[in-house]
Structures are given as structure tokens and as C-alpha cells.
Chains A and B, each alone.
Chain A
Amino acid sequence: MGKGQPSYTDEEFVAAIQGGDDRALAQLYRLHLPMISHLVLQNSGTEDEAKDVYQEGVMVFYEKVREGSLELSCQIKTYLYAVCRRLWLKRLAEKNRFNGRLEDHEPYLETGAEADVDQAEERDQRFATMAEALNHLGEPCRSLLEGFYLQEKSMQQLTAEFGYTNADNAKNQKYKCLVRLKKLFFTHYKEEESF
């Protein structure tokens, strides 16, 4: 990889991002922002909305790549365009401003991106429920679990932080918290699914 602005091919991008290379991700991010920005601005959106949609779109792409489940049948550019287009359509529909036609300026292809977006949406739903459940959990369970799972601190660190006598105590506490979280999470999750 060169210094400054290394250029990647699509395959290199996927490989690098899968490998956790943030510079590749930043490069990719910078590369396609103007395209999406143009799309959203052309279709009655603002600059900020464009950034939001683009970040969500890149998120879908990124998570698929990290999972290793991305089946790219086209260029990354086309894929991102399809994903963001879909996301923006949804936003417009929510805002009730969609008049049934979008001004496309890129070739729009069936890329399977639609399914990916739906999948991502389901995952969003789950994460939202999780955030909700964590909010309802109460202290110190919430901080403990967030520390362990979200911030990926070690058990030793948490033991010191929360003033447990030893790591086993902290672990037991963590499991109890998990049981409570499970109850909250699954009641919420099932409720919302039954909708």
C-alpha cells in the first residue's frame, strides 16, 4: 500500500475492509460520497440527509463485508448506489414526499442490494430493541455489560472498575445481568415481531 492516497480495485477494497483496514474504508467513503450526495440533492433532499443516507448505505456494505457474506455481482459503486437509492426511497416514503419517480443519474441495476437492505433493516430493528433493553436494565448491570460486550474491556479491568473482590464475582454478576437482559430483550423483541 502506498502512502497518501492509495488506490484500490474493488477486490482489494473488499479484502482490505474485511481485514479491518480503516484507511481503505475511509478511502471508499470519500470516493462515492459525491455520487450519493448528488442523488439525494436531486431528489428533494438536503446535504445532511445525503450524509445520513450515505453513512447508512456504507454501514450495510461494511457489515456485509465483515460478515464475509457479500456476494458482489457488480461494482462497489453500483452496489452502494442501489443500497442508498433504496434507503432514500424509504425515507421519502416516510416523509410522504415521494411522487413515485426518482431521478436516476447512474445506471440502476438489480444487484441483490434490496435484499441486503431489508436484512440490514431487520438487524437495525434488533439493535434498536437491544438499546431499549439496555436502557431498561438499570445500573450497574448496564455499565457492566456495555463495558464487556460493547467496549470490549477485559474482565480484570471491569473487576477493578466496579470494585468486585475478584474476577469470579464479577463474572457471576455479569451472568445474572445477562439473564435479566435476556428477559427484557426477548419480551421486547417478540412483541415487536408480533406486529
Chain B
Amino acid sequence: MKTEADYYALFDAYQSGQLPPEEQDALERRLAAEPDLAQQLADFNELTDTLYGYGQRLTTRRKLRAMQAALDAEKAATEAIIETGHPTMPIMRISRTEQHLREFWSSHRATIAVAASVAILAVFATLLGLEMWRTAQQKPSLYGYTVLRREVERIKRNQRAMNKALTLMDEPRPNEEANPGKFSGTGFALTTDGYLVTSYHVIQGADSVLIESRDRQRFRAEPVFSDVAHDLAILRITDPKFNGFGRLPYSFKRGLAELGERVYTLGYPREDLVFNDGSLSARSGFEGDTGFYQISIPVNPGNSGGPLLDDRGNLIGIISGRQMDVQSAAFATKSSYLMRLVDSLATAKPAQPYNLPRFNQLTGNTRPQQLRKLQDFVFVVKVYE
């Protein structure tokens, strides 16, 4: 009985053609008759073929490696020649980290680009969204028409109020001294004994109104009457410690002012009294509203309710708003409407009569003199909601 190794010797000889002819014939006959033996031969062939192939593969690989190495060496050599050819040329060496960074960049640049564009989109979407949200939050006003009451430190206060509401739910409200007010505008004295005029939109929705004079004196006031159509409001000081304004230096004009008249206003667009002047540019207001003048005074939020005076010290109007899309177009309620309102109120016999000033002390004075007399009669109107 032959072992498998013996058969392998036989197969080896058979494949290389070294068998004597009669043995070869015998083997071929057996192969044809015995499938097992044929399978063994096939396995033997596959094995030796694979071995030879594997050997060749290794050789070829070595060859190719050598070729690559030769190419690399050649490249390095040419580079070296270039370097010696230009001794002053700086040698570009890439550090390990830079190499890594470059690889990272080359393999991830598409992803990075996508991420960056998404980030940019997100930023702009957020900004636009916030802007839209804010405009939606603003009280709707007429197209391009902006009322000029000032929202005092709106955001800061909102936040503070929220915090307070959350933490001090049950505690009493902080006293008014600490509270700067939600909105502020300007107002001015109507009579010596405590009537004031301001714009309706300043006190709109007010819980309480506080008047602050230039010397920081504060008086509590209450709305007496308001005229929404002409954006007028009349306030009365109710504070017991109040004892009159003193004699008013200006008088109220009952007629219409002339086109082109030089006019000026005083107001509190910020913490201090601010003067501005200009001319009367039209005798009708926004979209032809005949209750208003158009004036070319630069006014700001907080100017609302301020007095509009002409050169001779006549009060001709009350600042109300401005048009956003037109250069320096502000609007002021005509004083004639204020007078009509006061007259109608006076006929109703109020508790306190309306003693309007009859004489004008400003006529003929220079502008600074007028302002010095005027400044004590212009107030900040602070509104709490």
C-alpha cells in the first residue's frame, strides 16, 4: 500500500514527464478508473501551481518595490540637484503636523465645506428670523410713521422685570424711585396750576404717570383727557407737594402758523433737555392730515409731546412723530386743536379751571434767553405699565 507521499512522488515524476512509458500508461489507466486518485492528482496540481504562483508573486512584488524605490531615489536626486543649483532658495520642508493637517484637509475638505455653509446659513437664518420677530413685535403703526415715545432701556428692563417676576413673586413692588419707567416722552405746562400737555401715544396704556422736571423733582400725575385722533393728552398733577409752575412765559397760538416759519422744540430724547430747530415745511401732516404740521426738525424717540414754538415764543404745536422713509420729516399736532380741546373741556366746568397764559414773555428775546425761561416748563413724562 502506497502512502500519500509516495503518490506525490509518482505525480511529480508524471507531471515532469520522467516516468517510463509503461508506468505512465498504468497510471493513466488508474486515473481514468479511480476518481479518488484523479482528485488527488488535481489537488496536487493545484497545490504546486499555487506554490509556484505565490513564489512568482513574491518575486514580482519585490521587482515592483525596487522600481518604485528607484523612482523615489531618482526624484530625490533631482530635487537635491535643484537645491544645490539654487543655494539661496529656501528649502520647503513640511513638518509632521503640517503633513497631517494637509492630509486631513485633502480628505475632508468636502465635508468641511458643507459644514461651513450650513453654519453660515444658520447664522443668517437666525439673524433674519430675530429681525423679523422683532418687527412683528413692534406695535403696528401707520406705514412709515413712527411715534416718538422712548422705550427706556427696553431689553434690560424686560429682562430685569422677568427675573423679578420669577424670584420675587410675592414681594411688594419695588418703589417708584428705583423704577426708571417703561416709556418716556416730553410734556409741557398748559396752565400755572398743574395742567400739562403731552402726546396721547406717550401715555397710551399707562398705569401711572410721573412728571420729572429739569431739577429732578418728581410729581405724580393723572390723565385728564386724551384725543386719540390728534394724538393729544392733557394731564393734571395730583401730587400734594406740588405748588404751581409759576408764570408761563409762552402763549398758545389759536390760528395757523405760516409756512417756512422758523420753529424749535425742547425735549427729553435722553436724560438731558435737548434743543432742536428747523422750519415749518408743510401745513398738513402725514398723508395730508390737516390736524398736523410737517416740520424739518430732527426729532428722536422721547421728543414726543414736546412743545413746538415759533420765533416769537408762541406755542404752535406738539411734537408727535416722524416719517421713517423721508429725510427729516417730523409731525406736530397744531396748537389750534389743543385750544379747541381746552375750550371744550373748560365749558364742562372742571374742578380746576383752565387758566391759560395770555401774555407772551418771550417775544423779542434772543433764542438762548427764550430757552432759559422755557426750560423749567418742559418735563419728562414717565409712564409705567
Please report A residues at the B interface, Cβ cutoff 8 Å.
Answer: 22, 25-26, 29-30, 33, 41, 44-46, 51, 55, 58-59, 62-63, 66, 97, 99, 123, 126-127, 130-131, 145, 149-152, 171-172, 175-176, 178-179, 181-182, 185-186
Is the beta-carbon distance between B103 and A150 smaller than 8 angstroms? Answer: no
Report the separation of the CA atoms of residues A25 and B62 in the bound assembly, to the nearest whole angstrom: 13
Is the beta-carbon distance between A175 and B47 smaller than 8 angstroms? Answer: no
Q: Which A residues are CB-close (under 8 A) to B51? A: 130, 145, 149-150
Known contacts A99-B110, A131-B54; A26 and B65 CB within 8 A of each other: no
B60-97: CB near A (< 8 Å → 1, else 0) gives 11011101101100000000000000000000000000
B243 at interface by CB-CB < 8 Å = no
Known contacts A58-B64, A59-B61, A62-B60; A172 and B47 CB within 8 A of each other: no
* Shortest Cβ distance from A22 into B: residue: B63
Report the separation of the CA atoms of residues A33 and B74 in the bound assembly, to the nearest whole angstrom: 14
A-B pairs with the 9 shortest C-beta distances? A150-B55, A149-B51, A44-B107, A175-B5, A175-B8, A176-B5, A29-B67, A179-B4, A55-B64
Is the beta-carbon distance between B50 and A127 smaller than 8 angstroms? Answer: yes
Which listed residue, B9, B44, B50, B67, touches A171 by the CB 8 Å rule? B9
> Could you name 9 residue pairs across A and B whose Cβ atoms are closer than 8 Å?
A26-B67, A26-B70, A29-B64, A66-B56, A123-B53, A127-B57, A149-B52, A182-B43, A185-B47
B58 at interface by CB-CB < 8 Å = yes
B212 at interface by CB-CB < 8 Å = no
Is the beta-carbon distance between B60 and A178 smaller than 8 angstroms? Answer: no
Q: Which B residues are CB-close (under 8 A) to A126? A: 50, 53
Q: Which A residues are CB-close (under 8 A) to B71? A: 29-30, 33
Q: Which B residues are CB-close (under 8 A) to A44? A: 106-108
Of listed A25, A59, A62, A175, residue having the most chain B CB within 10 A? A175
Is the beta-carbon distance between A179 and B8 smaller than 8 angstroms? Answer: yes
B105-122: CB near A (< 8 Å → 1, else 0) gives 011101000000000000
Q: Which A residues are CB-close (under 8 A) to B151? A: none
Q: Which B residues are CB-close (under 8 A) to A182? A: 43-44, 47
Of listed A46, A97, A151, A178, residue having the most chain B CB within 10 A? A178
Which listed residue, A41, A123, A152, touches B106 by the CB 8 Å rule? A41
Known contacts A66-B56, A171-B9, A175-B12; A30 and B50 CB within 8 A of each other: no
Q: What's the minimum C-beta distance from B335 to chain A, rounded to whole angstroms?
A: 75
Q: What's the minimum C-beta distance from A114 to chain B, rounded to whole angstroms?
A: 21
Report the separation of the CA atoms of residues A185 and B51 in the bound assembly, to the nearest whole angstrom: 11
Known contacts A99-B110, A130-B54, A175-B12; A25 and B67 CB within 8 A of each other: yes
Report the separation of the CA atoms of residues A175 and B7 in the bound assembly, to the nearest whole angstrom: 9
Q: Which A residues are CB-close (under 8 A) to B103? A: 46
Is the beta-carbon distance between A59 and B65 smaller than 8 angstroms? Answer: no
B15 at interface by CB-CB < 8 Å = no
Known contacts A179-B8, A182-B44; A59 and B52 CB within 8 A of each other: no
B276 at interface by CB-CB < 8 Å = no
Is the beta-carbon distance between B107 and A178 smaller than 8 angstroms? Answer: no
* Shortest Cβ distance from A152 into B: residue: B55
Query: Other than the known A26-B67, A55-B65, what 19 A-B pairs have Cβ atoms closer than 8 Å?
Result: A25-B67, A29-B71, A44-B107, A51-B68, A55-B61, A55-B68, A66-B56, A127-B50, A130-B51, A149-B48, A149-B52, A149-B54, A149-B55, A150-B54, A171-B9, A178-B5, A178-B47, A182-B47, A185-B50
B1-28: CB near A (< 8 Å → 1, else 0) gives 0001110110010000000000000000
Q: What's the minimum C-beta distance from A99 to chain B, rounded to whole angstroms?
A: 7
Report the separation of the CA atoms of residues A101 and B110 in the bound assembly, to the nearest whole angstrom: 12
Report the separation of the CA atoms of residues A62 and B53 in the bound assembly, to the nearest whole angstrom: 12
Report the separation of the CA atoms of residues A22 and B53 in the bound assembly, to the nearest whole angstrom: 18
Q: Which A residues are CB-close (under 8 A) to B9? A: 171-172, 175
Q: Which A residues are CB-close (under 8 A) to B54? A: 127, 130-131, 149-150
Report the separation of the CA atoms of residues A123 and B50 in the bound assembly, to the nearest whole angstrom: 9
Report the separation of the CA atoms of residues A59 and B65 in the bound assembly, to the nearest whole angstrom: 11
Report the separation of the CA atoms of residues A51 and B43 in the bound assembly, to the nearest whole angstrom: 36
Q: Which A residues are CB-close (under 8 A) to B63? A: 22, 25
Q: What's the minimum C-beta distance from B1 to chain A, rounded to whole angstroms?
A: 15
Report the separation of the CA atoms of residues A181 and B43 in the bound assembly, to the nearest whole angstrom: 11
Q: Which A residues are CB-close (under 8 A) to B61? A: 55, 59
B99-139: CB near A (< 8 Å → 1, else 0) gives 00001001110100000000000000000000000000000
Is the beta-carbon distance between B47 and A181 smaller than 8 angstroms? Answer: yes
Q: Which B residues are CB-close (under 8 A) to A185? A: 47, 50
Q: What's the minimum C-beta distance from A14 to chain B, rounded to whole angstroms?
A: 16
